[in-house]
Structure 1
Amino acid sequence: MSSLPKGWANSELCNITEVVSGNAFKSKDFVENGIPVVKISNVQSGKYIEKNQEYLPDSFVNESNARFIVNHNDLLIALTRPIVSNKLKVCTYPNKKQVGLLNQRVARLDVYEGSSECFLHYYLSSKGFKESVQASMSETLQPNLSPKSLSKIRIDYPPLAEQKRIVEKLDEVLAQVDTIKARLDCIPSLLKRFRQSVLASAVSGKLTEEFRTEWLEEKIQLILSLQPTAKTRRGVPDNVPIDEDLLKQEIPKQWVVESVARLLKLAVITDVKDGNHGANHPKSSEFVDDGIPFITAAQMNDKGHIDFEGAPKLKGEPLSKLKVGFAESQDVIYSHKGTVGRVSVSDRDCILSPQTTYYRLNQTFIIPRYLAVYLQSQQYKNQVNKVKTQTTRDFVSISAQYQMTILLPLIEEQKEIVRLVDQYFAFADTIEAQVKKAQARVDNLTQSILAKAFRGELVPQDPNDEPADKLLERIAQARSEAEALAKAAKKAETARKKAQKV
């Protein structure tokens, strides 16, 4: 162990705070409103989560449960899975108006008089203490920290006066860090809005206003003069109305406004199909490590990437019995069930699940990246949301997709739209990567400041401070006296009850 700063002591946690473990309250007693039950799901790293809060009747705040009452700003720590995402689940109870009741697998830390509760809260938030907890957890299927093990963890303990100086300095410095962190945390949502505004401008024609010229208006006749083909899938409707909200917008006169069904009839879109349903759906036992990737919404992300390597694979007989869902390179893949709205352009052959749809295109008239841009735009999402409001789950059927309206510029303008969107998105991606690095540095900065504080380097030591070992002696003496008084009071109460029976 490294040498301690002058006046500090190294002590077990039980000499500084009492660890009070919660009670196993029965879920059958829970009610809709009443006294909040402090459960492990409520105790998170640095904050108390009131979502899905459980309650007990007011009558449960009684003498038999007095030990489990939680008051405002009481220090709490989770005892089951206490470390999640490399962070210790420790926080304070935030409710000023109502006490809580401590449930099992949560501990309340009652700091003894003469110590700073704020100092201990900061200490418990440090990387060093988290590592001590990690070393003290039992090796079970679900990591557990026993109250006894928690009590035995040793901490470096400064004089009370220095504890107060450390807390004051940490309050000041970490408030500045929190301000920086809050500003950084706002940037991803700003970038999300920026990307959506780029997409909205792209598919409304505003992004390419300067590019558009009269000669493009002449080329529109290539699509308008197309005749319907007889080769379309069964169920594609002949007449589909254009989305009314889109018609209210100002659409460039050089653009085609048609439904997916109509574009299928004109062979601009050559096929729209999802994967195998029912008995034809592959069984989990048929998946292998190598073969043709089987793509569900889970293999797609919001950035247009498909995880082909991590996808389950099919080959041999299970593959040969499939009837539909064979996507090809350059097909646009759209997730339409469960997680709706993820869009990618496939760069290889794959098989789709019933959660995903491929759009196969006649690239004389429409390029895959443009359709991917359009399917991600708010103009298309608004149409999808109308369909989703009519169902009990997130689901946009193939027949519903036929009804969607597509805004279609000519190929030359599509290419310019894609170029500009990619350019702006690359700019946003660069900023996002820089923000993530900055966020990591800020997170490390917090721990660096805490580590410096608990090495005795954040504030100066004062030789006039009462040494920590003297403080611990006084706390121990006060505890001993309090325990003696409690025993005496219990003995007197027992004698009183016996006398009443005589």
Structure 2
Amino acid sequence: MSEWQFVRLGEVCTKITDGTHHSPLNGSSGDFKYITAKNIKPWGLDLTNVTYVDQKTHREIFSRCDVRKGDVLYVKDGATTGRVALNPLEEEFSLLSSVGVLRPGPAVRAKYLLYALQEPQTREKMLADVAGVAITRLTLRKLNDALIPLAPLACQDRIVEKIEELLSDLDAGVAELKVAQRKLIQYRQSLLKAAVEGELTAGWRAEREKRGGIAETGEQLLERILAERRRRWEEKQLAKFNEQGKKPPKGWKEKYPEPVEPDTANLPELPEGWVWASIQQLASDAPYSLAIGPFGSNLKVSDYSDQGVPLIFVRNIRSKNYGGNFTKFVSVSKALELRSHSVEAGDVLITKMGEPPGDADVYPADQPPAIITADCIKVRANDDLIKPHFLAAAINSLVGKLQVLPITQGVAQKKVSLGRFSTIAVPIPSLDEQEEIVERLQSACCQSECVDKELISLGQMCIAQRKNILKAAFSGQLVPQDPNDEPASVLLERIRVERATQKLKRKPKTPPPLGEGARRAGEGAATKKKSRL
């Protein structure tokens, strides 16, 4: 590889700049596209959610950053720093400062530069230079000074051709994996839909009918549980009156806080014996059975510790992962203060925030009591009415999702309040059928998880293979090295000489003729000089 040379990006790019440092007014319509880091994806420039700016704003931005087709766009700020894309657009567009522009010079091919910036070692070294706390940044100076391995031009062409040949096959495999993963997601949703609408256990119900039917249907079950709940409330009220030595006032039973009934107008028809119930109706009537995480100052980062009672975050619910090295805790005394937000095994946890919110999971039996944090909802269900895993399945199903979506609010962050969430409808079959559904779901989910793990493993292998291809390419091992290629050092020197020669050939500008006043001033100065002599 004696023909190769490490060079600074500033040596091989004729321009390195970035977009505007002031976020302009932008929207879904306008005169020119406005590209930010969110539009730079692993597969290239993505205009799916592009916004626009007006012509005046664009002219101000474009005068500094005139992006052209074939420029390399490099994310230099934020969480996705290091992503690159080749600009395929003929049209002008505006750019935010989070994206850098690298214009390849005559010594480097655009696609070679694109792949060189993705090479693992080069990428790692560049990311090591980022600075910042809230938002990490790679400055233009550091971008200029970043090193890439430069091959001879002819070799660059061979490398790009070989990379694209190999990546084409690899990308086809990745595309097939993504299709398989999407189908797996669809399968899971279909399974949940069949479970909560009764299709999954239609055969089971038919068999039970042959053997005498179901002892207590979901409809009868709900009616009984709600009646028992009201009776317990009345008994507590009477006990309070007795303690106080008072006679129950007229109409005291009318003050019973009746749980809200669900709106079933747009919901699917349920099998005979099933019934819809609201979250309020199926929650336990014990204190704090419906709760959200503590507000603001009630739980601060300064309250976190390395041991004690674990905290549960949105990320735990989404990943179904609890405990582990990254767990945060609060002290036992702090947990007592926050006991209204406590979580026990079997509680159903729901994300209150997200895109969209409403992901549900059951807190596992092998985990200790915990405290939910902000943006989490806890439902402690009445176990005599609904099984926790069936409730979680209903919330995660399309039936649940379609109810959560309309009650979600917010722009930057989508959230659902506990009050609105507690009104959504959940189907209630008999307890025996719930147990049958949960068993079938768990069996099917176990199989799908095995498939999912295999797909993830194959995806990781593809990522590793991509890295290996790029490593081999930029270490001179992917394509044969031709000793007849013009070495990179000679190429760079030739380009320097050509540029210097072009500068010398430029004719100096002829100064404009002197005006009459200036000519007389010059003559006067000459006369004064002679008189002094």
TM-score (norm 1): 0.78
For 1:76 and 1:324, how far apart are their aligned partners in 2? Answer: 50
What residue number does 2:162 align with?
169
For 1:409 and 1:236, how far apart are their aligned partners in 2? Answer: 25
Q: Report if aligned partners of 1:302, 1:342 keep a CA contact under 8 Å in 2.
A: yes
The aligned runs of 1:199-348 (5 Å cut-off) are 199-212=192-205, 213-214=208-209, 215=211, 217-220=213-216, 223=221, 226=224, 227-228=227-228, 229-232=230-233, 236-237=257-258, 240=261, 243-246=264-267, 248-249=268-269, 251-260=270-279, 263=282, 272-275=289-292, 281-282=298-299, 285-295=302-312, 298=314, 300-307=316-323, 310-316=327-333, 318-321=334-337, 324-336=340-352, 340-346=357-363, 347=365, 348=368
Using the TM superposition, give the Cα deviation of residue 435 of structure 1 relative to its aligned residue in structure 2, in angstroms. Answer: 1.7
Using the TM superposition, give the Cα deviation of residue 476 of structure 1 relative to its aligned residue in structure 2, in angstroms. Answer: 1.9
Please tell me the residue identity of whatever aligns with 1:454.
F
Q: Report if aligned partners of 1:270, 1:362 keep a CA contact under 8 Å in 2.
A: no
SS in 2 for 1:70: coil
Please tell me the residue identity of whatever aligns with 1:92.
L
- Residues paired across the two proteins, number: 480
Q: List alignment gaps of at least 5 residues for structure 1.
A: none
The RMSD of aligned alpha carbons is: 4.2
Which of 458, 480, 501 is residue 438 of structure 1 equivalent to? 458
The aligned runs of 1:339-488 (5 Å cut-off) are 340-346=357-363, 347=365, 348-352=368-372, 355-388=375-408, 394-398=415-419, 401=422, 403-485=423-505, 488=506
* Residues 411 and 270 (structure 1), Cα distance of their counterparts in 2 relative to 1, 3 Å cut: farther
What residue number does 2:171 align with?
178
Using the TM superposition, give the Cα deviation of residue 34 of structure 1 relative to its aligned residue in structure 2, in angstroms. Answer: 4.5
What residue number does 1:95 align with?
89
The aligned runs of 1:62-101 (5 Å cut-off) are 68-80=65-77, 88-98=82-92, 100=94
For 1:380 and 1:59, how far apart are their aligned partners in 2? Answer: 44
Please tell me the residue identity of whatever aligns with 1:219.
A
Using the TM superposition, give the Cα deviation of residue 397 of structure 1 relative to its aligned residue in structure 2, in angstroms. Answer: 3.1
For 2:491 and 2:338, how far apart are their aligned partners in 1? Answer: 76
What residue number does 1:47 align with?
44
Using the TM superposition, give the Cα deviation of residue 499 of structure 1 relative to its aligned residue in structure 2, in angstroms. Answer: 5.5
Deviations 1:55-111 (A, max 9, x none): 47458759x976742211212334556xx56x723322233222556x657543333
* Residues 66 and 475 (structure 1), Cα distance of their counterparts in 2 relative to 1, 3 Å cut: farther
For 2:409 and 2:144, how far apart are their aligned partners in 1? Answer: 53
Q: Report if aligned partners of 1:208, 1:417 keep a CA contact under 8 Å in 2.
A: yes
What residue number does 2:529 align with?
none
The question of 1:17 aligning with 2:36 is answered no
For 1:157 and 1:279, how far apart are their aligned partners in 2? Answer: 53
Please tell me the residue identity of whatever aligns with 2:71.
D
For 2:26 and 2:496, how far apart are their aligned partners in 1? Answer: 39
Structure of larger gyration radius = 2
Please tell me the residue identity of whatever aligns with 1:203.
V
Please tell me the residue identity of whatever aligns with 2:416.
F
* Residues 116 and 359 (structure 1), Cα distance of their counterparts in 2 relative to 1, 3 Å cut: closer
Using the TM superposition, give the Cα deviation of residue 138 of structure 1 relative to its aligned residue in structure 2, in angstroms. Answer: 6.7
Please tell me the residue identity of whatever aligns with 2:67.
V
Using the TM superposition, give the Cα deviation of residue 259 of structure 1 relative to its aligned residue in structure 2, in angstroms. Answer: 4.3
Using the TM superposition, give the Cα deviation of residue 197 of structure 1 relative to its aligned residue in structure 2, in angstroms. Answer: 0.9
For 1:390 and 1:157, how far apart are their aligned partners in 2? Answer: 49
SS in 2 for 1:344: strand
* Residues 281 and 92 (structure 1), Cα distance of their counterparts in 2 relative to 1, 3 Å cut: same
Using the TM superposition, give the Cα deviation of residue 189 of structure 1 relative to its aligned residue in structure 2, in angstroms. Answer: 2.8
Identity value in percent? 22
Q: Report if aligned partners of 1:268, 1:366 keep a CA contact under 8 Å in 2.
A: no
For 2:177 and 2:155, how far apart are their aligned partners in 1? Answer: 32
Please tell me the residue identity of whatever aligns with 2:433.
E
TM-score (norm 2): 0.74
For 2:30 and 2:183, how far apart are their aligned partners in 1? Answer: 38
Q: Report if aligned partners of 2:58, 2:93 keep a CA contact under 8 Å in 1.
A: no
Q: Report if aligned partners of 2:109, 2:153 keep a CA contact under 8 Å in 1.
A: yes
Please tell me the residue identity of whatever aligns with 2:459.
Q
Q: Report if aligned partners of 2:347, 2:388 keep a CA contact under 8 Å in 1.
A: yes
Using the TM superposition, give the Cα deviation of residue 462 of structure 1 relative to its aligned residue in structure 2, in angstroms. Answer: 3.8
Which of 183, 198, 202 is residue 190 of structure 1 equivalent to? 183
Q: Report if aligned partners of 2:317, 2:350 keep a CA contact under 8 Å in 1.
A: no
Q: List alignment gaps of at least 5 residues for structure 2.
A: 237-254, 520-533
For 1:407 and 1:467, how far apart are their aligned partners in 2? Answer: 73
